[in-house]
Structure 1
Amino acid sequence: MVTGNVPVLSLIFVSLVSFSSSFTPSDNYLLNCGSPTNTTLDNRLFLADSTKPGSDSLSAGQSISVLNQNPPRNSPALYHTARVFTSSSGYRFNIKKNGTHLVRFHFSPFVARGFDLTSANFSVMVNGILILRDLHSNNSSAVVREYIIEIDINEVVIVFTPMNDSGFGFVNAIEVFSAPGDFVIDAGVKLIRADRIEMYKNLSSQVLETVSRINVGGPKLTPFNDTLWRTWIPDDDYLVLKSAARRVSASHPPNYQSGGSSREIAPDIVYMTAQEMNRENLTLDARFNITWNFPVGLDPARYLVRLHFCDIVSRGLNLLYFNVYINGYLASGDLDLSTVTYHVLASPVYADYVVDSDDSGVVRVSVGPSALSSVLTMNAILNGAEIMKMVTVPIAETNSNSKKTNIWVLVSSVVGGFVGLCLALLALLLAIKCWTKKPKPRPSESVAWTPLRVYGGSSHSRMSEGTAYASPGPNGYFALRIPFADVQLATKNFDQNLIIGSGGFGTVYKGVLRDNTKVAVKRGVPGSRQGLPEFQTEITVLSKIRHRHLVSLVGYCEEQSEMILVYEYMEKGPLKSHLYASGLPPLSWKQRLEICIGSARGLHYLHTGSAQGIIHRDIKSTNILLDENYMAKVADFGLSRSGPCLNETHVSTGVKGSFGYLDPEYFRRQQLTDKSDVYSFGVVLFEVLCARPAVDPLLAREQVNLAEWAMQWQKKGMLQQIIDPHLAGQIKPSSLKKFGETAEKCLAEYGVDRPTMGDVLWNLEHALQLQETGQRREPNEDGSINERELSAPGIVTPFQASNIRQDGADGNQNSNISTTEIFSQLMTNEGR
């Protein structure tokens, strides 16, 4: 990362290197209108429209080619000619591939052959949609009007219509070309309202007109530097208070590996430059926003605001937390780019918001520090912004041709409807006939993704990679279904006041079911890239296991394209909140040992409760929750995997987990075993002892990684020097020694040298016994747990697993803890 100004030529050079792999559209029509010859602009060849090349042609109507006899010096040849329309007429283009297309019109008026193009007054329609109405070209400057349109037929028809008998229309050039498939997607778009935020659906079906395209903190970009041939302008004229912002730039291209954005969404230079908070002349803890005003006009309209982010300012992960405001309303709170980019620095992402204009005539965008920001890392950034107007589609006036078309549409609809009715009746008769022979199957919900009814290795299954869990039984997962109406009732129709957290999957609400059971309701974002595999894995794992030290799944809902998980409610929230950075009363050493023992019992059951076992893969202090009695339960099974088969030593899989807790052997070799969970648990043990994060980039270099730092003190026999000050004088030396040795063994570099979770459990119980009585408890010769100890309460052998029942808390006791601390594996800002 480089702060300050990087020479523009250097940035453009980097961009040119990346531009060699530019996007190639399936449809690509570039017309030099009114000209008999071809010409180029930004290294793109515009064909003469009068030659009617190939699949594009002038439609019926009257049009005239005109030439500017005295073009301005240095004016592009593309603007020296124009086609003038004296009646409704235009162009027709054949489309090879349906989908999102960009349509651009170039207007550069001049005077020629009795036509003063500055006095033109006309409208433009694309496939029957009126996109330009009463267009007046009352100045001589060139204007490009760009529209993003979903094309669902095999042609694009553009019609220019004069607005009165003596009027006319004109155009200098037209571009029609395909956009990438993910250029406009429906998932994750937020509709920002004054009283609430809700998800906006069907964005891809809207016609969008580009109003502003801004390279925040960077130079002007011409179409030559953009894979979709767009122009990006600097943000200087839009900043409300220039002194609040400071330009920053990077010297290396962004990292696109996280899949959050691409060069077609925005070019490299947009993500390599940004504005950040300028705190040079302010006190260290001063909080303020950077604000931009983007003019949109006074007419009421709805706008798509696309904001681009790339963290080029942080020294490490999970350091930048900031808020995003649009028109004064909080659009995204506590935004952590590390989370949404799967823990990759300088990785570009974008966010889409839909807002309604107000009487100010501008769309106001602000970024500012989050309450989660520390004094030293307080900052906020923005790399790029696009404002697009949603074009309303009025009913166009019909002419004789359109009337004929409507008649044919009506006739075909009647005929088609009759045929469809006949087919439906035939299908019904066949179904009734089959019904008498076969038992009636359970009805399925209509959802936008594959429902949870396919087990094993079916090619139709969309379970997370390689997961091979057993079928839950003859009734499938239906016993866990909760109707959407019940979820709405439990959360008071997702009342904003009941929100207790949010994360990568979605929003978490506190709720009460009809039977007065308190629950935590995790509502996913429909279409989320990450959400679907985690949603299905969570149901698959928790539907077949029950243990008093594992958070229970109450049920799920998949109606109306929703992904909702309902869990038992954990009164005391995450273990992390009771260790540091929350202001809660510190836990005693005995409480901490009992929490570690409970967590170890839950993990031991996961590893041994079935033939293959289950590997959690994301053990950390935020995924260990506490009930009203401070009993620990392991939570968040979205990344879990079934363990290796009996004849295998590991599972080969891509690396997933959380930084600071990740098994280094698994990271190097991509070979997952249950010993990877053991390593992560070893980090948690030191986290419990030292009451500090697993990774803290603000500390001295040798202290940043908790596991490495604590192991240094453990090997020196001086672990007591780094324990939580609240524990001073509480821990008996023998108990501390046993606890430190256990953590050290968990953090062995190679999995084969680490203990099993059963051994870890035995040693932790020994540490508790030493703390309470000082009496030593001798292990078996092989260091493992004997059969009597495995039968202790809460410990489950593989032979007992099939008979285990849920023995958790009833969740009905009251607690004074703030609801913002509850169920935090879903509200944590730490990514995976």
Structure 2
Amino acid sequence: MGVGELKLLFWTLSMLSSVLFSMGFVPKDNYLIDCGSPINTTVSNRVFLADNSQYLKTQGDILANTSNSITSTNASRLYQTARIFEGTTSYSFPISLQGRHWIRLYFLPFQYQNYNMSTAMFSVTAQNFVLLSTFQPQNGSVFKEYSLNVTSDNLVLTFTPAVNSFAFLNALEVVSVPDTLITDGAQTVNPSGSFQGLLGEALETVWRVNMGGPMVSALNDTLGRTWVTDGNFLLNQNLAHAVTGTANYVNGGATSDIAPPSVYGTAEEMNSVNSTNPNFNVTWKFNVDAGFQYLIRFHFCDIVSKSLNMLYFNVFVNSWVVAQDLDLSDNTFGNLAAPYYMDFVLGSSISTVLYVSVGPSTTITTVTPNAILNGLEVMKMNNSEGSLDGEAYISLNGSKTKVGLIVGLVAGVFAVLLSVAILFLILHRRRRLTHDHHSKSWVPFSLNGGGNTHSSVSKFSKGTITSATSELGFRFPFVALQEATNNFDESWVVGVGGFGKVYKGVLKDGTKVAVKRGNPLSQQGLAEFRTEIELLSQFRHRHLVSLIGYCDEGKEMILVYEYMENGTLKNHLYGSNLPSLSWKQRLEICIGSAKGLHYLHTGSAKAIIHRDVKSANILVDENLMAKVADFGLSKTGPDFDKTHVSTAVKGSFGYLDPEYFRRQQLTEKSDVYSFGVVLFEVFCARPVIDPSLPREMVNLAEWAMHWQKKGQLEQIMDPNLAGKIRPDSLRKFAETAEKCLAEYGVDRPTMGDVLWNLEYTLQLQEADAQNEADDNSTNQIGELSSMVNLISNEETSLTVEHLDSSQVDDISGVSMSKVFSQLVKAEGR
């Protein structure tokens, strides 16, 4: 065979492969029904059959139609008719080939005779999975798409009306899905690892998005899917640039069944043409239901590069890096513009918001910074009760059984067995530790400072020996902390955080302490443990929680703090039976917290950025004096000639600075944003994220800013404060919180400015009517800031090296109220 013939053969095979890849999947099962319709309906070249009750197991239902013209074309034609179910009704579809199937449900309520479908309430189950629970489609059309792995010869779909109600359905699809569409190759997001069992999960399509391109209809998708545009999800459209190209499907890679060419042939890339700093992320925001795991599928196709190995970028889910320095050419068999997808499973959380981002590699600097995303699918996974929509009853063996009850009984038996095993291990460990540790003396741990010094080496100090001031902290033997906490008695737990549980403890001399014991399975570990010790060893301040000591024996990582009698600010605001705080008490706690944060930002050559400011990390002592706590995520601020620190995003949902999240650029203003959320939390006395509320109310910061911009913030205040806040005090407080939540850090005040305004807010609250301040500006933030900063710097510039511990505790006690009283009162001016 000659060279020419070989070339012809390779060309023919290549063309044949392309044709094969472009051919759509032919489903073995393909049930399309236009419910309630006496005739067939064609939509996007697919024929929905007339509803003749062939697959219904029960009768007595009603065929309904509307004379109203909904619209004249496309899928809307399916909504002209419906089938109404007055009692529990089931469809039964024979399955030719077991495996994953689409179940697609169409709903649009309308009035038919005495049936107002907008009042219908019902549940839908399939193969013992709850698809819909107490569902009530009230406004507009609703399309639901699910995929289930059918493991029997019949798929039974059951509609169960609520008491004194009915169910209805406009159209229905049950269609086979290729086995290759969902495989067991997903990775977990946090912690990173492989996820097993995806094949058996029921999935609901929540979002399916075409990045950088137009909407893709079912007509142009081999599996009849619809892909919406991404414009409504982009957080900052100026940071993204749409590009188009041609997808090159290759043997062994993603096929058009995974996503069509119209998805892989478009993308959003970084719009860095006019940017002086290309180190930013392109971010999309999606609303999701809390309490469920999600399968997140990223679709990539490098249609922007001219050659291989020219594009390296990072991929994020929320604040976690799921793919670092991703080079698509390494995953597409060395082919350019070849489709590629990645699956990740995100664990359940209370958040109702999902962020996905792409950004340039920060470690590979030999290529032009860029990042792309072509498409995204977000699919909800069934929970432990087999439900995709909360709690419902499903039929098992002919009787209605609550899934949660079965799961609860199994879990209860398992919990008893687990408790016995844990008790045995604890008793065994205690005997071993008691035998191993004979000395109960304290050993000072290593700190920088003067005075009496002791040498110490611990596993985070990399073998170096440093000196320590003995008064500042001690290294505790583990047995001493066991005794102090009654062997870590669970009834002594006073808090639980990302690092582990916090126990109340009593030392031998009667000193009360808070003992934070690291959980080996925690997301936080050695780095946070080291950061906490190093930071609190350097700084002492009246409004920062003091570190007394630590323990790092074996695998134990334990921190010992001064005990704060009144717990967290969060517990005083909601979620407990503690008495409500007065407005003055709340302001004083905010002022104390602001002083602690201001000291962190200004008390040394480099600012310390807390990174996890929230009400749960603000503690109050027996006199309700506030102290900032939990410095495990803290970070040293930028050098004098820099504006920010580039670092991975860490923090808590609801409090996280959106600019820091998008750009991964950390500044002191990130703490200011979080503190602004705390201020609204203090005012409203509700969680910052509450999934039980209507969608527009879930996020406190967004909800509060909505009312603040309307000038009606008092509409959402804590009812306990009603009529107890002077209008001027409320206005100044609201302005301060609003400025803290500015979209961009450059527009936010410093903590010194925030402190000034909170002191001013308190002055306005306490002022007599005749001496009421003339608050003639809504822009007082920043006014006289140079004077305040001078005072603040004088207050906080002293360091531990110049003062003993008693003096250090007093350096923040200089109340600025005397200064402010002269500035605020008219005669003082």
TM band (smaller chain) = 0.3 to 0.5
Q: TM-score, normalised by structure 2?
A: 0.45
Q: TM-score, normalised by structure 1?
A: 0.45
Whose relative contact order is higher, 1 or 2, with alpha carbons under 8 Å and at least 6 apart? Answer: 1
